[in-house]
Structure 1
Amino acid sequence: MTQSGMADLDSQDIEQQQHRYQREEFRSAVRALLMNPLMSPGHEDFSAVRRQADVLREWFSRETGWALQIEREGARLYKRPADLIDSTRGLPDYDRRRYVLLSLACAVLERADAQITLRVLGERLLAFATDPVLALGNFSFTLGTQHERRDLVTVCRTLLELGVLQRVAGDEEAFINAGSDQADALYDVQRRALAGMLAAARGPSTWQPEEAPVTLEERLHALVNEYVADSDEARRTALRHHLARRLLDNPVVYTVSLEPEAQAYFVNQRGVLAARLCEATGLTAEQRAEGLALVDESGTLTDLAMPAEGTDAHVTLLVAEYLAADERERTTQRNNLPFKRTQDIADFLREARDRYGRFWRKSAREAGSERELAAIAIERLDKLQLVERRADSVCPLPALARFALGEADVRTTSPRRNTDVPDPDAFTLT
């Protein structure tokens, strides 16, 4: 082979490597934005996001209809959930009260200087909290109790995680415990991140009081409703965006959960749709008669991994296997009572504690803990859309079958140094 021929091969090899690197970087950037739609410049994947900016904007616009803004100060993917009333979504340990506080804190920061202290933030928030509209909703807030100061600190820590605030000095924990003038914290306010907090198609301040939606569900829909042109192509695009959002945001999409028009499109196009999304995200499609799931084998592209380490995760896996086995028996015997009582699950965990309790945290080994463990397991399974909750019972959903395991084989592999800390290597599920 001539030197020119060898040079051509080397050039092709370099070009292939560059193409492969670009594809892998693009995939990493997509995954990072899905997990961190409000991304600060300090994020480890932000440089990749900036390099892939044009391709990322085009992909998200085409596949999901989500707008993507990328600047030196950060990136914002304006994700809008397909299901606005899904009660399993949201920030951990947040109730409606804390969401109100988060909104009020953002309103205070919008009017604040470049820096603000935790105490000043709390005092200005108190003034906003006296709004008569909030009073009509039975909302009140003071800084007089440790519980209320903890709520404020939880909101501040959320804003720190999102990059809206950056801590300069101080200690939030001391503020919770002391509540004195000496306990405080100082923050820088990041204006760009603050401006990207609300992922709405229309700002709430644009409504006249007499035109504003009344109920919570009406308000949520009004914030994110997007214009769809009156044409077949526009409606098909809207359906495709809706399904792509659900597949990327939710653990599984069940065919029966879709509206008739979306259901027909989904049945015909789900293979093509899944292939495009999996190519860009590295997810694996699992198609069944009941629906479609995009599974992340690495377990990183999720807010709640299963299986995972720890007592709660192990208990959840045991309950999943218990419910899946019960569902198989029900199907075999053609029993039409799919619901399982919460008490039955608690009774199962009480028996499981005798076998596995020595691997669980101390509080989970105590008598009577089975009710709390059952509630934790059911909540996790509900968030993963593996069960449906109704009153004091649960119903297994089809995707739960993928977690049906065989009998657990307990193998001690290392000595326990601290019985209060679960050892993830102390047992193997086979």
Structure 2
Amino acid sequence: MAREAGARAPDAVQVKDVLARHREDERRDALRALLMCPLMTASHPAFHAVRRHERELRDWFSQAAGWILHVERDCARLYKRPADLADATRGADEFDRRRYILFCLACAALERAEPQITLRTLGEKLLALAADPELGARGFTFTLDSHHERRELVAICRYLLSLGVLLRVAGDEDAFVSKVGDALYDVRRRALAGLLAAARGPSTWAPENAPAQLDERLAALTEEFTPDSEEGRRTAMRHHLARRLLDDPVVYLDELDERPALRAYFQNQRGALAARLGEAAGLHAEQRAEGLALVDDSGELTDVAMPAAGTASHVTLLVAEFLAAAGRAQPGTPVSEAAVAEAVRGLIPEYGRFWAKAAREPGAETGLAANALARLAMLRLVRREAAGAFPLPALARFALGDAELVARKRTSTKGAERAQDALF
């Protein structure tokens, strides 16, 4: 019996190790899911894993990035606050200033609504809120009389559906647009209450003390307390950099020039930061002379995949290669959007047969170029200014034509090795 027990002991250890690895993998998957879906309802596939690992996830996010994780019975909210409030590439797809106003008005209407609401009733509540004279003084009107305005309301509802704030019970939004039907929704109040990821609510200001400008409002909404001590300042810098590494495609050293202390901290600690964040989130670090990127081999942790299927994605990849070549030929020189559009037009004879028919129409190159530049800006591969698009270092990874040549140089001189190390 003693020998049999001894023989079973290694099996028990192996089972324990397997269970520990499974728990670690599940916790990592839950962490990654929260990064992509910070407002998560019970219908999300990872929600139950988030609840199981709530304590470890809450502690990790708090220590690593200063983000608060709040988990309830049917909703989880990771209060991600971006490190760069001026990043214009963030936001909901196809949302402009008008649509954001409608979104805010819809949330205000839902906050006072019954547990269930129809699309028509939501529209009526929006009409009442949109009649505010202050909105009219700023040029905003909303009447629901036109097909376009009903489409706008439907777009808002579908965005709220994607966030989990609304749950469709019956009906169809397209029938409402055509004035032949309606839709009924459940209002998920816990998800609605967690929408605003701010350190304080806008209603806490007295009207006479409220910041006037948008950048001032954003700064006031997200301002966090930092202890006036050396340790407090180091913690704030670590949180700032962790937020950028987890939320942004790449962090360039040049972006930190205005904060010398932050740049110095990043240069000294980026290896440790990358290792700690990468291990927890299943990412691997690419460290180069210009900066650092945490890369996801699976391609899951991104809003904009590249490369990807479809005409727009193919054009973006070709534009990236064109801009990478332009950046090598004339470093630091912007490329105008007109030049990018002309380059896209020149690609049609060779690649047009693979694209959608509309992309081959005369004049389509302008929209294709604008879309490609917007995608590349989101991925921090170009910087867009009034003068044009400036290729950034990480764009060099798409310079496919020179990959073999550079590899040969690496084996010949140390200088070429250093040059290659300076490219993402």
Distance in structure 1 (CA, Å) of the matches to 2:326 and 2:114: 59
Which residue in 2 is equivalent to 1:102?
103
Q: 1:392 to 1:184 in 2, by over 3 A?
A: farther
Distance in structure 2 (CA, Å) of the matches to 1:133 and 1:6: 79
Which residue in 1 is equivalent to 2:12?
11
Deviation at 1:6, TM superposition (A): 2.1
Distance in structure 2 (CA, Å) of the matches to 1:141 and 1:379: 29
Distance in structure 2 (CA, Å) of the matches to 1:177 and 1:263: 56
Once structures 1 and 2 are overlaid, which stretch shifts more, 99-108 or 363-372? Answer: 363-372
Q: Percent identity?
A: 60
RMSD: 1.5
Residues 289-346 of structure 1, C-alpha deviation per residue, up to 9 Å, x if partnerless?
1111111111111000111111111111111111112222335xxxxx5211222222
Which residue identity does 2:287 align to in structure 1? Q
Residues 349-403 of structure 1, C-alpha deviation per residue, up to 9 Å, x if partnerless?
1221101111101111223221111111111111111111122521100110112
Distance in structure 2 (CA, Å) of the matches to 1:263 and 1:392: 27
Distance in structure 2 (CA, Å) of the matches to 1:43 and 1:103: 24
Aligned residue for 1:287, secondary structure, equals strand
Which residue identity does 2:105 align to in structure 1? L
Which residue identity does 1:201 align to in structure 2? A
Alignment of structure 1 residues 150-165 onto 2, 5 Å: 150-165=151-166
Which residue in 2 is equivalent to 1:249?
247
Aligned residue for 1:399, secondary structure, equals helix
Alignment of structure 1 residues 276-315 onto 2, 5 Å: 276-315=276-315
Which residue in 2 is equivalent to 1:345?
340
Distance in structure 2 (CA, Å) of the matches to 1:303 and 1:189: 26
Residues 113-144 of structure 1, C-alpha deviation per residue, up to 9 Å, x if partnerless?
11111111111111111223322322111111
Distance in structure 1 (CA, Å) of the matches to 2:268 and 2:134: 48
Which residue in 1 is equivalent to 2:42?
41
TM-score by length of 1: 0.90
Aligned residue for 2:70, secondary structure, equals strand
Deviation at 1:284, TM superposition (A): 1.4
Distance in structure 1 (CA, Å) of the matches to 2:341 and 2:206: 51
Which residue in 1 is equivalent to 2:418?
none
Deviation at 1:247, TM superposition (A): 0.8
Distance in structure 1 (CA, Å) of the matches to 2:360 and 2:343: 14
Aligned residue for 2:383, secondary structure, equals strand
Distance in structure 2 (CA, Å) of the matches to 1:386 and 1:340: 13
Larger fraction in helix: 2
Alignment of structure 1 residues 4-403 onto 2, 5 Å: 4-178=5-179, 182-258=180-256, 259-331=259-331, 338-391=333-386, 393-403=388-398
Distance in structure 1 (CA, Å) of the matches to 2:197 and 2:175: 33
Which residue identity does 2:197 align to in structure 1? A
Residues 136-195 of structure 1, C-alpha deviation per residue, up to 9 Å, x if partnerless?
3221111111111111111110111111111111111111123xxx42111111111111
TM-score by length of 2: 0.92
Deviation at 1:45, TM superposition (A): 0.7
Residues 11-46 of structure 1, C-alpha deviation per residue, up to 9 Å, x if partnerless?
110111011101110110011001110001010111
Which residue identity does 1:271 align to in structure 2? G
Residues 59-89 of structure 1, C-alpha deviation per residue, up to 9 Å, x if partnerless?
0000011110111111000111111121100
> Unaligned 5+ residue runs, structure 1?
332-336, 408-430
Aligned residue for 2:178, secondary structure, equals helix
Distance in structure 2 (CA, Å) of the matches to 1:217 and 1:349: 36
Which residue identity does 1:16 align to in structure 2? D
Aligned length: 400
Which residue identity does 2:34 align to in structure 1? L
> Unaligned 5+ residue runs, structure 2?
403-424
Which residue identity does 1:231 align to in structure 2? S
Deviation at 1:283, TM superposition (A): 1.0
Which residue identity does 1:169 align to in structure 2? A
Aligned residue for 1:210, secondary structure, equals helix
Distance in structure 2 (CA, Å) of the matches to 1:165 and 1:339: 44
Residues 230-267 of structure 1, C-alpha deviation per residue, up to 9 Å, x if partnerless?
11111111111111111111111111112222111111
Which residue identity does 1:372 align to in structure 2? G
Which residue identity does 2:183 align to in structure 1? A
Aligned residue for 1:388, secondary structure, equals strand
Aligned residue for 1:116, secondary structure, equals strand
Aligned residue for 2:80, secondary structure, equals coil
Q: Which consecutive aligned stretches of 4+ in structure 1 deviate over 3 angstroms post-superposition? A: none
Which residue identity does 2:306 align to in structure 1? M
